[in-house]
Amino acid sequence: MAEKIGVYVCHCGSNIAGKVDVEDIAKWAGENLDDVAVSRDYKFMCSSLGQQMIEEDIKKEKLTRVVVGACSPHLHEKTFRRACSNAGMNPYLMDLTNIREHCSWVHKDRAQATEKARALISAAVQRVKYQEPLEPMFVDVNPATLVIGGGIAGLQAALELADAGYHVYLVERMPSIGGHMAQFDKTFPTLDCSACILTPKMSEAGQHENITLLTYAELEEVSGSVGSFKVKIRQKARCVDYDACTGCGICVEKCPRKVLDTEFEAGMGNRKAIYMPFPQAVPRVPVIDQDSCIWFERQKCRACEKLCPTDAIKFDQQDELIDIEVGNIIIATGWKPFDSKKIPQYGYGRLANVYTSMEFERLCNAAGPTNGKIVMRDGKTVPKSIAIVHCVGSRDDRHNPYCSGVCCMASLKFGHLVLEKTDAEVYSFYIDMRTNQKNYEEFYQRLLGEGMRFVRGKVSEVTDAARMPTEQGKLIVQCEDTLIGRQQRYPVDMVILMGALEPQEDARELGLKCGISCSMDGWYTERHPKLDPVATMTDGVFVAGTCQGPKDIPASVAQGAAAAARVAGMITKGRVMIEPIVATINEQACSGCKICNNMCPYNAIEFLEDPGVSRVITALCKGCGTCVAACPAGVITGAHFNNKQIFSEIEGILWDALQPADDSSPQAEPVPASAS
């Protein structure tokens, strides 16, 4: 029986109609393509009126198939499937072909874009004839959630879910949760003490009955899919018995080995070989740094072990793999600071009194190595003048094209702290001041009033090569002041480089494990940049905080909460729909060669020993088609992507090439798919 196909071509305002003659295509399809019963164009097919039109046609015209030519399936496949479903048609008998992102948005020539759209519609019409009705599947959602990253975004997400009554596994790579926020002295623009607002959240997370804290641990492996992920966590060897330790700190106090703390103290202070990163660390369980511990170096010392009142030191502890099962994953892995040595003309690492912004955070932190006294590298001289250089590695084609967003405000915060604590002059070298959140501009105005000096221009170099006596012994900041149009030299005592926020070194690797991707810059890609900022293209995996792009504390907290709300929604619903687009093995014909079992990237194919055949576990299958292509006997079928469907689609797209040679009219009918 011939199908009755409805074709619907969307203008998308002028998004498609501006480059593609949609009216002509709709008319052409109605007149020339086999089995097309109805063909229409409409301004916005996704509007309720557009959907209604499709629904009414299905009922009145007894359509058996629907083709929509509009935007990406990522945006509206669900919309049109629902419309078909409402009208009583199986939603998988609808095909949405993309004539916007794949056509009107990427082509300049109207005539050529129209021809391409015509070919795409023709392809969809040929394909849809062979689509089969499918029934969606449902899986239960495991109410436990994995949060990766214990910075402020991850903490917020974990606490929201835990408070709602759901269990959370909070995994943190460092020995303590807290993230970068724990390193800061003050937060802008309110000048709240960073630790004072963060540590209550940390200890709440540490004591929460619904939170399992896994610090000094990293994600090893993820399998499964939304609703039922199986996760392996590597608990790195702390060399301290987590349960026996009381956090008394005597081991830290007595440890004879001091090393430079390049992590929490950003290289500004020391720590011991056995250490807690900072006094308010959560959990209060130290770790032994095996690279610097004397015992691991030359089997001597054991001071900590001898003095520990609860015998908690375990030198022979090994890394441990922990298996957990969760329904959803929230990634909140944050950022790393730009390496300022990549801009050698700014002198970091070569000129002693050039600091990175993280170093300066520690320098002015009351709990930092100088107890908050702002002094130069000699440890005693108070600087009389400080230059703050903006956009170091940000807004720079040679490094990162993006704006890091937080540095302008952090510079103002530094300016305020310096003016409050010293008599130093503070110069800020900026390209543009970006202070566009609540109360930020007001803070900028406040600093203008407090006497911080602003020079608009990108610093060309920081040097110690003095040209005149007033520059002797100083660091000279050379910059074109673009407001007065002159090259200027500013001799100062100290320079602070406001380095860019960059993605974590292993962001791509972690993304791959969880099945999500990064943008060109290396930040995780959200499902939609405006309308779905915390979801990702992988169901059940969410992102929050700076791992998705540079942002400040309020925005990170908001995203942490948003991701938690999305997860809570999934848990409350209890089950999640899974696309029925999966592979099926014809077990009668399977030879049991096991090639597909090893090829499957999702471990979704099991081998049944008794009949000696492979079988797809449909809940895990993503429908990627790898096994379909790999099967030497050709007995695996990919639903919704079977050979008949694909070959028909190809014939459809080549409609004009398949014309009989003697017929030159472009209006001629395409050769039916079955003819070849």
CB of 470 to other proteins, least distance (A): 15
- Which CB atom, from 347 or from 368, has the smaller least distance to other proteins? 347
- Which CB atom, from 231 or from 476, has the smaller least distance to other proteins? 476
- The answer to whether 396 contacts other proteins (rule: CB under 8 A) is no
Please identify which residue in 24, 34, 464, 480 interacts with other proteins, judged by CB under 8 A: 464
Q: Helix 553-573 crosses helix 152-163 at what angle (to 10 degrees)? A: 30
Q: Helix 152-163 crosses helix 194-207 at what angle (to 10 degrees)? A: 40
CB of 463 to other proteins, least distance (A): 4
The b-or-e profile of 50-81 (16+ CB within 10 A means b, else e) is bbebbbebbeeeebbbbbbbbbebebbbebbb
Distance CA 542, CA 529 (A): 13
Phi and psi (nearest 5°) for 444? -60, -45
- Which CB atom, from 350 or from 575, has the smaller least distance to other proteins? 350
- Which CB atom, from 475 or from 620, has the smaller least distance to other proteins? 475
CB of 395 to other proteins, least distance (A): 16
Q: Which residues are within 8 A (CB) of 630 and not within 5 positions of it... i.e. 6 or more apart?
A: 595, 596, 599
Distance CA 668, CA 666 (A): 5
- Of 182, 158, 156, nearest in space to 170 by CA: 158
CB of 490 to other proteins, least distance (A): 15
CB of 472 to other proteins, least distance (A): 10
- Which CB atom, from 5 or from 354, has the smaller least distance to other proteins? 354
> What is the footprint of other proteins within residues 277-306 (CB under 8 A)?
none
CB of 408 to other proteins, least distance (A): 24
- Which CB atom, from 184 or from 348, has the smaller least distance to other proteins? 348
Phi and psi (nearest 5°) for 118? -60, -45
Burial (CB count within 10 angstroms: exposed 0-12, middle 13-18, buried 19+), residue 662: exposed
- Which CB atom, from 460 or from 598, has the smaller least distance to other proteins? 460
- Which CB atom, from 2 or from 465, has the smaller least distance to other proteins? 465
Question: How many C-beta neighbours within 10 Å does residue 28 have?
Answer: 21
Taking contact as CB under 8 A, which single stretch among the options 131-139, 265-273, 337-345, 410-418 is the one that binds other proteins?
337-345
CB of 489 to other proteins, least distance (A): 12
- The answer to whether 480 contacts other proteins (rule: CB under 8 A) is no
Please identify which residue in 3, 461, 532, 587 interacts with other proteins, judged by CB under 8 A: 461
- Which CB atom, from 263 or from 461, has the smaller least distance to other proteins? 461
CB of 280 to other proteins, least distance (A): 40
CB of 348 to other proteins, least distance (A): 11
Residues making up the chain, counted from first to last: 676
- The answer to whether 486 contacts other proteins (rule: CB under 8 A) is no
- Of 504, 569, 204, nearest in space to 332 by CA: 504
- The answer to whether 97 contacts other proteins (rule: CB under 8 A) is no
Prior bond to 283 cis, omega within 30? yes
CB of 344 to other proteins, least distance (A): 3
- Which CB atom, from 258 or from 350, has the smaller least distance to other proteins? 350
Distance CA 6, CA 15 (A): 22
Please identify which residue in 1, 2, 465, 531 interacts with other proteins, judged by CB under 8 A: 465
Distance CA 123, CA 145 (A): 42
- The answer to whether 344 contacts other proteins (rule: CB under 8 A) is yes
- The answer to whether 463 contacts other proteins (rule: CB under 8 A) is yes
- The answer to whether 345 contacts other proteins (rule: CB under 8 A) is yes
260 touches 289 (CB < 8 A):
no
- The answer to whether 347 contacts other proteins (rule: CB under 8 A) is yes
- Of 605, 654, 659, nearest in space to 630 by CA: 605
Distance CA 621, CA 602 (A): 7
How many of the chain's residues bind other proteins (CB under 8 A)? 11
Phi and psi (nearest 5°) for 282? -125, 120
- Which CB atom, from 129 or from 399, has the smaller least distance to other proteins? 399
Taking contact as CB under 8 A, which single stretch among the options 128-136, 457-465, 490-498, 511-519 is the one that binds other proteins?
457-465
CB of 387 to other proteins, least distance (A): 16
- The answer to whether 467 contacts other proteins (rule: CB under 8 A) is yes
- The answer to whether 520 contacts other proteins (rule: CB under 8 A) is no
H/E stretch holding 541: strand 541-543
Q: Which two tokens stand for residue 29?
A: 């399809």
CB of 342 to other proteins, least distance (A): 9
Q: Which two tokens stand for residue 549?
A: 């792009």
- Which CB atom, from 347 or from 560, has the smaller least distance to other proteins? 347
- The answer to whether 64 contacts other proteins (rule: CB under 8 A) is no
Please identify which residue in 10, 343, 604, 620 interacts with other proteins, judged by CB under 8 A: 343
- Which CB atom, from 467 or from 528, has the smaller least distance to other proteins? 467
Whole-angstrom CA distances from 507 to 263, 324, 523, 540, 547 are 18, 22, 8, 18, 8
CB of 462 to other proteins, least distance (A): 9
- Which CB atom, from 24 or from 461, has the smaller least distance to other proteins? 461
The beta strands (E) that lie in 99-243 are given as 137-140, 145-148, 168-172, 186-187, 192-193, 211-215, 217-225, 228-235
Distance CA 526, CA 524 (A): 6
CB of 352 to other proteins, least distance (A): 13
- Which CB atom, from 78 or from 350, has the smaller least distance to other proteins? 350
Taking contact as CB under 8 A, which single stretch among the options 49-57, 69-77, 339-347, 369-377 is the one that binds other proteins?
339-347
51 touches 19 (CB < 8 A):
no
The b-or-e profile of 180-217 (16+ CB within 10 A means b, else e) is bbbbbbbbbbeeebbbeebbebbebbbebebbbbbbbb
CB of 465 to other proteins, least distance (A): 4
Distance CA 359, CA 322 (A): 35
- The 567-586 site mask, x for binding other proteins (CB under 8 A), equals --------------------
- The answer to whether 350 contacts other proteins (rule: CB under 8 A) is yes
- The answer to whether 494 contacts other proteins (rule: CB under 8 A) is no
Q: Which two tokens stand for residue 255?
A: 């440890």
- Of 290, 250, 298, nearest in space to 273 by CA: 290
Chain residues binding other proteins by CB under 8 A are 343-345, 347, 350, 461, 463-467
